[in-house]
Structure 1
Amino acid sequence: MRRTSQAIAYIAGLGLTLALTACSGSGEVSAGQASGNGLEKTTLKVGALPIPDPAALFIAKAKGFFKEEGLEVETSIIAGGAAALPKIKNGSLDISQTNYVSTFLAVSKGEKIKLIADAYQAAPNTFNLMVPKDSPIRTAADLKGKTVAVNTLTNIGTLAVTATLKVAGLKADDVTFKEYPFPEMGAALTQGQVDAAWVTEPFITATQSQFGFRKLADTMTGQTADLPIAGWMATDEFAKNNPKTLAAFQRALAKGQQLAANDRKEVEAIVPTYTSIKQETAAVITLGTFPTTLNETRLQRVADLMLEYGYLTGKLDVKTLLAGASTP
């Protein structure tokens, strides 16, 4: 998914202009000393989105966890999981943040990808349908015949909205989906170009503050409650050729993920260092959760939901995509 493919643009009127900075490591061990650890590579190029989801990566980098493993991690801002796929294939990135919908769609088309760690999971009010404050639309059922903005068609946004419509007795074709970058949805709604918009943080907070929009529905309930959203991927070839390096990366990242999962203050402190989200905004946005294990049962939910709603044409066995699993 390119759930946040336009999140690197600015949010008009709120001063969330992009000012991306890289976090510097603080460990004592240099990457050059890693040869003693038998690592196949000591410098990794890692892609991440400028949103809260990959906070653990930057926490681990700032606290020197990668250096402790003999790794030098060079971060690169990407537009989205789908956009990152060509970069890990051509080697300009070794590892990248991705979203599971984009990943499973790519795999269904023959791409060889391994998932190496989990990153982010939905929580209540992290992915909402929003409408103008004076809109006559009061429930999801009122969306019949209306136009809904999503940041990317045939992806997590349309999937989540479709699941929400089902509960209201509607189908996907009862609405018209229209693609807009997240930063442009506010204007689209106020100008009447769409009737509702599927919005995530920090744009939920932004549109409420700037335009007074109200929540129509939380799209992460029922079938989509606690839905896995984002993880970390590499090509199957990279995983096979760099097992020790990958294991070292996973160990360091896991330490960062533990901190993100257990201490919101760590997330609030790190997010403004690599995104355009200001400290005061980071303190109030609604965050999802940061899973500490890559669980095949949880991820299978996403693939099964995609199959149910026609995003996949056949059942996908997620277990085969986890690093360490053999490809059939």
Structure 2
Amino acid sequence: MKMRALLLAAGLLISAFGAARAGEVEKPNLALGVGGKPLLYYLPLTLAERLGYFKDEGLTVEISDFGGGSKSLQALIGGSVDAVAGAYEHTIRMQEKKQDVRAVIDLGRYPGIVVAVRKDKADTLRSVADFKGAKIGVTAPGSSTYILVQYLMRKAGLNPDDASFIGVGSGPSAVAAMQRGEIDVISHLDPVISKLEDMGAIKVLVDTRTTEGTLQVFGGMNPAAVLYLKESFIRQNPNTVQALTNAFYKTLKWLETATPEQVAATVPQEYWLGDKELYIKAFNASRQAYSTDGDISEASMKSALNLLTTTDPSFGASGIDLSRTFDGSFLAKARGQ
């Protein structure tokens, strides 16, 4: 009888412990926004989803693809998503607007953005300094592809208003815009860039997919895609944020050793743009861009701030506290597991 009572008590304790663990994640059903999910810029997001790492952490993540980073940021501020896989510089821009948005893990240490001109315009558009009057295709106005080309134009002595910017989306529509001659220049990412290169449709002028190319543009590292959330959400849902960070950190470690073939086999086939070998080529071209540790250094933060102040001289940099743009506490715990 006493043994039966002990077993019953143990069973109740185990059930209570399980219930407590199940309740650790404050919000198991999450809405996450992204601006161009098929792009290799956001590959860690797709991998985390497809490898089941969100589910392993007790999360059901509904991903909404808004076709441009600026639109996913708007969704976060508007409250229609809980988190965003987006550009790090958005955290800085929002702080200037008195919106407390913070990154918790870095997914890309380089922008991975390529600026290229249409092949039949290569003789006249030899450098960024020649972009006056050009029609420039970007994923969406306000996105990282838009900001980078504006930064390059400022450095070349041009005003961004000297050119016109056209949102071409993040997939086949971007390729079609270049094919149809609707744009003269494209600021975009893989696999779109590798597809256009394979078609012989473009000439690359600037390439931030590699260490060398990023150093040439910024003189140092420049964080790209991160996971960011409102500070209020982080404060109210710390276990949920930890679970998200864990999932992305596991993804970065998987990606660090995965073969290109494994990556291609994991993503949806439509991401290949009809050519698996081309997708593998695109991944190899962008592989250096992915973070291996999820961290953002102070120097990288300053580089991102410089990107914004150069692009927009009126940007109020004096009031920016970069330490409030990245909360590394969740990453530290993810590494320790």
TM-score, normalisation: structure 2:
0.72
CA RMSD of aligned residues (A): 3.3
Instruction: Work out whether residues 29 and 61 of structure 2, in 8 Å CA contact, stay in contact via their aligned partners in 1.
Output: yes
Corresponding residue number in structure 1 for 2:186: 197
Determine which of 6, 15, 21 is the counterpart of 1:36: 21
Corresponding residue number in structure 2 for 1:310: 312
Question: In the aligned structure 2, how far is the partner of 1:60 from the partner of 1:34?
Answer: 26
Corresponding residue number in structure 2 for 1:11: none
Instruction: Work out whether residues 129 and 217 of structure 1, in 8 Å CA contact, stay in contact via their aligned partners in 2.
Output: yes
Corresponding residue number in structure 2 for 1:294: 295
Determine which of 314, 323, 335 is the counterpart of 1:319: 323
Residue identity matched to 1:157: T
For the structure 1 residues 90 and 205, does the alpha-carbon distance in structure 2 shift closer, same or farther, using more than 3 Å as the test? same
Bigger share in helix: 2
Instruction: Work out whether residues 100 and 231 of structure 1, in 8 Å CA contact, stay in contact via their aligned partners in 2.
Output: yes
Cα displacement (A) at 1:143: 0.7
Aligned-partner SS, 1:98: strand
| 2:285 is the counterpart of 1:282 | no
For the structure 1 residues 53 and 159, does the alpha-carbon distance in structure 2 shift closer, same or farther, using more than 3 Å as the test? closer
The percent identity for this pair of structures is 20
Ranges in structure 2 where 5+ consecutive residues have no aligned partner: 1-17, 330-337
Question: In the aligned structure 2, how far is the partner of 1:77 from the partner of 1:277?
Answer: 17
Report which stretch shifted further, 40-49 or 239-248: 40-49
Cα displacement (A) at 1:280: 3.0
| 2:81 is the counterpart of 1:93 | yes
Corresponding residue number in structure 2 for 1:234: 229
For the structure 1 residues 34 and 232, does the alpha-carbon distance in structure 2 shift closer, same or farther, using more than 3 Å as the test? farther
Question: In the aligned structure 2, how far is the partner of 1:188 from the partner of 1:71?
Answer: 38
Residue identity matched to 2:280: A
Query: How many residues align structurally?
Result: 292
Aligned-partner SS, 1:284: helix
Determine which of 133, 141, 144 is the counterpart of 1:156: 144
Corresponding residue number in structure 1 for 2:159: 172
For the structure 1 residues 171 and 205, does the alpha-carbon distance in structure 2 shift closer, same or farther, using more than 3 Å as the test? same
Corresponding residue number in structure 2 for 1:209: 198
Corresponding residue number in structure 1 for 2:33: 47
The structure number with the bigger radius of gyration is 2
Question: In the aligned structure 2, how far is the partner of 1:153 from the partner of 1:89?
Answer: 17
| 2:264 is the counterpart of 1:268 | yes
Report which stretch shifted further, 313-322 or 251-260: 313-322
TM-score, normalisation: structure 1:
0.74
For the structure 1 residues 253 and 170, does the alpha-carbon distance in structure 2 shift closer, same or farther, using more than 3 Å as the test? same
